[in-house]
Structure 1
Amino acid sequence: MREIRIFELDRERTVFWQSPAAELPQSLQVLQGLLWLTVEGEPADHWLRAGESFEIRHGQRVWLGTWQDGVRLRVSQPAKTLSPLTEKPARRVGERLGWRIALRDLAARVANRTMARLARG
């Protein structure tokens, strides 16, 4: 599962973007227009056209800008959920707990019936 956000940047605008330090890398993809992108500490700028993408690593500071037209872009990153490989064991543990609770309830009912019969004589 991934989180996806769509942004539109008006013409002749520049914005600052910083990927959170604790986050996984973010993928930036241009959907429409021409995007100017510069990364702090890198000597060269990047020009991305529709269909092209750039990976923003955690903690990286970038500036995004437009040229003559606006830009529409998509930023996506993996969602903060468990991966399918780690979900299965957790689900199995939950299933086992569910069976334990069901068996405990059944045992309690049987014990209550037995006690009621013994009390009646």
Structure 2
Amino acid sequence: MREIRLFELDREQTVVWQGPAAEPPQSLQVLQGLLWLTVEGEPTDHWLRAGESFEIRGGQRVWLGTWQEGARMRVSQPAKTLSTSGGGSVLGTGLRLVWRHLAVRLASTAGPGRRGVGAQAE
């Protein structure tokens, strides 16, 4: 599963972007306009047009700005592995909880003398 966020910068607007150091890289893609990007500690700036991308590493401080027009961009994180076994992702935990809830409902609707899914032996 990926998180995708959309942002718009107004003309001549500049913002600072910095994610936690422990985060995986994020992909920034310009959807519309012209985006100026400079990375702390790098000697050159980047100019990105619609369709062009830049990878922002975790903990990296980046300045984003526009010139005479605004810009729209998409920032996404790489797909995370889905897990349904011990200690997995939030999604995996959610799936286990849904399954448990379903098992309890089936057991309670099985009626007297019948065993449904999740019923325990006596």
After TM superposition, the score normalised by the length of structure 1 is 0.70
State the Cα distance separating 1:19 from its structure 2 match: 1.8
Larger relative contact order, structure 1 or 2 (CA cutoff 8 Å, min sep 6): 1
Aligned length: 96
- Residue matched to 1:70: 70
> Counterpart amino acid of 2:56?
I
Segments of 4+ in structure 1 off by > 3 A?
A: 88-91
CA offset digits 1:5-60 (Å, max 9, x no partner):
00000001111110211211111000000000000000010000000000000000
Query: Which whole-Å CA distance do the structure 1 matches of 2:70 and 2:52 have between them?
Result: 16
- Residue matched to 1:113: none
1:57 aligns with 2:57: yes
CA RMSD of superposed structures (Å) = 2.3
Query: Which whole-Å CA distance do the structure 2 matches of 1:7 and 1:19 have between them?
Result: 15
State the Cα distance separating 1:78 from its structure 2 match: 3.4
- Residue matched to 1:30: 30
SS in 1 for 2:77: strand
Structure 1 gap ranges (5+): 109-121
> Counterpart amino acid of 1:21?
A
Q: Percent identity?
A: 72
Query: Which whole-Å CA distance do the structure 1 matches of 2:18 and 2:38 have between them?
Result: 12
After TM superposition, the score normalised by the length of structure 2 is 0.70
Query: Which whole-Å CA distance do the structure 2 matches of 1:41 and 1:102 have between them?
Result: 58
SS in 2 for 1:69: coil
Query: Which whole-Å CA distance do the structure 2 matches of 1:66 and 1:23 have between them?
Result: 26
Work out which of the two has the higher radius of gyration on C-alpha atoms and give 1 or 2.
1
